[in-house]
Amino acid sequence: MRGQGILLAVLAALVTALGSASTAQAISISITSSANNTTSSTSGPGGDRAGAQGLTIGAASSTPDAVSASVSTGSRYVSNAAADRGIAISGGTARWTYNTDYTISFSVTPDSLLALYEVVIDTRILGELTLLDDVGATASTAKVSNVTGYLNAVVTTGLGISGIAQTFSVGTGLNDAQERNIAGSNSLNLGSFTGPQAFTLRFTFQTEASAP
């Protein structure tokens, strides 16, 4: 029996100008640093497990500093954990677990110290948990946890995504393929600012696949 989890997490930072001085030229936003501290753990037959994960960073951008003008950047993280233990193969349950943990720092820079703007963080997660039952009455699993979000090292409810945590398992019969979609989102307005600002965001969650 095979279990697989595929998760895509997307972070976008949106800056909207609320008002500015006539001398202002532009407002720019850029991701200044990132760190992917994701770890993985495995157990069981090594040839029947697979995993892939990675973090992609968006480019810097800018917009003319006019009222209601907006500019954004973002990041994307992908996690894919899979396990498939062959029938009649000893060695226990094949398992692959990702403990996702990544950090993004970004800055907002207006040309004028008098420019007023707000910063909004949108977070989204999208994916699926899939199972293919090769043997009746077994119990492979595909698992995902809720997402915990941190702003400047402090757990912040508006950044995390709740209500998605589950362990999907079936044991219904031969060659029974099933899937369950995972989706969640959140949005947090960090407030109104003037002058250059810097923010650090961190996201953690877990994905796992197992096959007995």
pLDDT tens digits, 185-211: 999 999 999 999 999 999 999 999 988
Taking only the tens place, the pLDDT of each residue in 51-86 is 899 999 988 888 887 777 888 888 999 999 998 887
Q: Which pLDDT score, from 0 to 100, does residue 6 have?
A: 54
Model-level pTM? 0.87
Residue listed under structure tokens 């003037």: 194
Domain of 170 in residue numbering reads as 2-211
Taking only the tens place, the pLDDT of each residue in 138-195 is 678 889 999 999 999 999 999 999 999 998 887 656 667 788 899 999 999 999 999 9
Per the structure, the count of domains in the chain is: 1
Beta carbons of 4 and 108 less than 8 angstroms apart: no
Radius of gyration of the chain (CA): 21
